[in-house]
Amino acid sequence: MGDPFDLSAGWLEEHLLIPMLYQFGLMNWEDVSYSWVLFALYGVAQVAVTFAVCLPLEHWRPVERWPDNKAVWVDVAYTVLSRVGVLPLFTYVLFYRAQVFVSGWMTDQGWVPPTLEGLFPVLLGQQMITFVLYAIILDFADYWRHWLAHQFRWWWALHSLHHAQRQMTFWSDDRNHLLDDVIAFVWFGVIALLIGVPPLQFPLLVLTLRFLESLSHANVRLSFGWLGDRLLISPRFHRAHHGILGAGDRSCNYGAVLPWWDMLFRTADFGRDYVQTGDPSGEEALATGSYWQQQRAGLRRFARTFGRQHARHGS
């Protein structure tokens, strides 16, 4: 029995994409399309699993109920666009090419590009173990990316689109400004290059981490208990990060999947309970606008940071 994703991707490649590419004289895209369709399938599966897990949870014990959840539909569009289309294509194509270029250049200089398997040969062929180790390292890197996004005014202006949602659900993880997404992809990509993440594993790692991040955004009263909350980020823990800050409050809980980094660097707060989410400092379009209205509002806020002095922000 082969890998069902790989076989499905192969079937689609053979029966749909190659005939299409051949018809339009684009057979030079054959290799790229084969990889894209695989990661797009992973994306579809991941959205389906997220939906199957999170939706019942949100119906079971919602933190909030809204008479009108129109704002959530924009988040659905973000998710589908990101996980099925853009994310698989960019993470694979761009990362793959960058990886080949950088590591090939290093090889030419006589340096062996770094890999976990190179440092620890016992890991060669242990794909599941290396996958988990790479995921932990990338999550650590993401903690710092996220923390920095809250420290710089211009970065916060972009990132505030993510925080503007008052109706936070599991769909909200992907509601990001395009520029913020680009920064995140570059950040992830560079770290992944430095530690030698296999190019074929990288999109899968991103999708896996994103599944757990979706869960942490879910509109559900769910904690993993005293110990569980310290092992894996729960919806309760991450909601505290999205909470509207009162006087004297400091932003907290920057981690994406593992709370370990917040605990280690003293940014964890396990005490805040199911707070209200949103960012009152941003214009309304960031919260309830259409996709493009949100993007434009984010860009306006970003541009304004270069014109005026603002207080450092951390929602």
Closest-CA residue to 199 (of 12, 85, 18, 32) = 32
Taking the C-alpha atoms of residue 24 and residue 39, their distance in angstroms, rounded to an integer, is 23
Closest-CA residue to 161 (of 175, 147, 171, 150) = 175
CB of 182 to another protein, least distance (A): 22
Q: Which is nearer to another protein, 125 or 307 (CB)?
A: 125
Q: Which is nearer to another protein, 138 or 158 (CB)?
A: 138
Taking the C-alpha atoms of residue 171 and residue 175, their distance in angstroms, rounded to an integer, is 8
Asked whether 183 and 155 are in contact (CB, 8 A), the reply is: yes
Q: Which is nearer to another protein, 40 or 258 (CB)?
A: 40
- Phi, psi angle pair for 101, to nearest 5°: -65, -50
Taking the C-alpha atoms of residue 103 and residue 114, their distance in angstroms, rounded to an integer, is 9
Does 19 bind another protein (CB under 8 A)? Our answer is yes
CB of 22 to another protein, least distance (A): 5
Site string for another protein, 193-222 (x = CB under 8 A): -----xxx----------------------
CB of 66 to another protein, least distance (A): 44
Taken in order 86, 146, 279, 208, the sign of the CA dihedral is positive
What does the block give as tokens for 242? 């999205």
Does 3 bind another protein (CB under 8 A)? Our answer is yes
Q: Which stretch binds another protein (CB under 8 A): 6-14, 131-139, 185-193, 207-215?
A: 6-14
CB of 196 to another protein, least distance (A): 9
CB of 103 to another protein, least distance (A): 5
Does 101 bind another protein (CB under 8 A)? Our answer is yes
The radius of gyration of the chain from alpha carbons, rounded to an integer in Å, stands at: 20
Q: Which is nearer to another protein, 78 or 95 (CB)?
A: 95
Site for another protein in 122-151 (CB under 8 A): 124-125
Asked whether 137 and 194 are in contact (CB, 8 A), the reply is: no
Residue 262: its H or E element: helix 260-264
CB of 200 to another protein, least distance (A): 6
What does the block give as tokens for 36? 């894209």
Does 108 bind another protein (CB under 8 A)? Our answer is yes
Asked whether 166 and 278 are in contact (CB, 8 A), the reply is: yes
Site for another protein in 20-59 (CB under 8 A): 22, 25, 27-28, 30, 34
Taking the C-alpha atoms of residue 231 and residue 169, their distance in angstroms, rounded to an integer, is 22
Does 154 bind another protein (CB under 8 A)? Our answer is no
Asked whether 253 and 213 are in contact (CB, 8 A), the reply is: no
Among 96, 131, 152, 274, binds another protein (CB under 8 A): 96
Contacts with another protein by CB under 8 A lie at 2-3, 6-7, 9-11, 13-14, 18-19, 22, 25, 27-28, 30, 34, 96-97, 99-101, 103-108, 110, 112-113, 115, 117, 124-125, 198-200
